[in-house]
Structure 1
Amino acid sequence: MKTTKKHVITTLAVALGLATIITLKTTAVSATTATSKEVPIYRLYNDKTGEHLFTSSLYEAEVLYTKSWTYENIGWIAPSTGKPVYRLYNPTLHNHLYTTDTYEVKVLTTRQGWVTDNNGKPLFYSGGNNKVYRLYNPTSTQHLLSTDTYEYNVLGQHGWNKEGVKLYDIGQPTSAQIKNAQNAVTAYWNLTHKDKNPFGF
């Protein structure tokens, strides 16, 4: 996903200025993967915690969008098979971590208070030739995945630890995929808020 300089600056401002972490555990929704070879990975952002969340479940993205998360876009396209990617959640830190490393999963879930999302099943898969980087901010304790080398390098100069390539993807979304996902998220919001009059009566 192409990241603008403005968005990178916004991410920096929130991450560096975060004083407290607000408890906002995401909705427990099992991830669903498409039967085709292309699986969109949706990227959302919570401006209260500074966290970015990634999911292959359009339904999870729709639900979180109605709960004050910002739907940013499709981050990348993942394969429907490949190396499993697990999502972990830390109820103390209130954030998520993504990894293909089963040893990392074992260590974090047995020693450091992390639990697996999606009942321990892979959330999506890694595969392809395009790099997906992972960063960690020791101040906010947030992790971030990015396909954008500009975002990766700039954040690395502003307090984020560059953890290297952790995943691979098969490409970026098409304009049609982006539009369809945005329409679906908006339609779900409209459906769940149809009883709310914008004028307050």
Structure 2
Amino acid sequence: MNKAKIVKASLLVGMGIASFAVAGEAANAAILYRAYNPNTGEHLYTQNYNEIPFVVQAGWRDEALAWEVPSRGTPIYRVFNPNNGGDHHYTANVAEVEMLVDVGWQFEGIAWYSGGGTPVHRLYNPNAVTGTHHLTANGDEKDILIRAGWRYEGVAMYSGPDAALEE
């Protein structure tokens, strides 16, 4: 584990989050799956395909593959808000994780890793209560959301296979 990961792990453990684990550290590059909740506007991003049929049974739409993620790189953390009907947020920013946990969100650990050469964009919907953030590696989808009133927050992470990390 590199020094940056140790610092981030220490910060999160220092927050009293005992469930912190470096999930997938030894895993191969993986596919990230995406599902959409038409009732809340939230997207679920997960490497664990077993989550997809579960949420589909609850009325979500399976949107298939989001992008490929490497087995190492910058950790992307997942937090969950149990107080607003169940919203997930994904970020590499430890300060953002700390702020959300401080206001009642639950830390769920490392969701995947950022790395590779393809930018993943983050957008914010100022008109939504849940599902306010969206991630996409698709430039056309990003542009459509901006035209619809979403605020572009920039490149949040990168995607791609492990081979892209070697270049």
The TM-score with structure 1 as length reference comes to 0.63
Aligned partners of 1:33 and 1:39 also within 8 Å: no
User: What is the aligned partner in structure 2 of residue 135 from structure 1?
Assistant: 123
* 2:65 maps to 1:74: yes
The alignment partner of 1:64 has SS state of helix
Bigger radius of gyration? 1
Residue number among 36, 50, 54 corresponding to 1:59 in the alignment:
50
* 2:78 maps to 1:104: no
User: What is the aligned partner in structure 2 of residue 90 from structure 1?
Assistant: 81
* 2:107 maps to 1:116: yes
Could you tell me which amino acid in structure 1 is paired with residue 89 of structure 2?
L
Residue number among 127, 135, 148 corresponding to 2:138 in the alignment:
148
Once the two structures are TM-superposed, the CA of residue 34 in structure 1 deviates from its matched residue by 9.2
The alignment partner of 1:63 has SS state of helix
Could you tell me which amino acid in structure 2 is paired with residue 129 of structure 1?
G
Provide the C-alpha distance between the structure 2 equivalents of 1:34 and 1:42, rounded to a whole number of angstroms.
Answer: 19
Aligned partners of 2:25 and 2:72 also within 8 Å: no
Structure 1 spans left out of the alignment, 5+ residues: 1-31, 172-201
Which is richer in strand?
2
Once the two structures are TM-superposed, the CA of residue 35 in structure 1 deviates from its matched residue by 5.5
The alignment partner of 2:50 has SS state of helix
Which is richer in helix?
1
What's the C-alpha RMSD, in Å, of the aligned pairs?
A: 2.2
Once the two structures are TM-superposed, the CA of residue 45 in structure 1 deviates from its matched residue by 0.6
The alignment partner of 2:140 has SS state of helix
Could you tell me which amino acid in structure 2 is paired with residue 148 of structure 1?
N
Once the two structures are TM-superposed, the CA of residue 92 in structure 1 deviates from its matched residue by 3.0
Could you tell me which amino acid in structure 1 is paired with residue 28 of structure 2?
K
User: What is the aligned partner in structure 2 of residue 166 from structure 1?
Assistant: 156
Provide the C-alpha distance between the structure 1 equivalents of 2:100 and 2:135, rounded to a whole number of angstroms.
Answer: 18
* 2:30 maps to 1:39: yes
The alignment partner of 1:106 has SS state of helix
- The number of residues matched between the two structures is 138
Structure 2 spans left out of the alignment, 5+ residues: 1-22, 162-167
Identity of aligned residues (%): 37
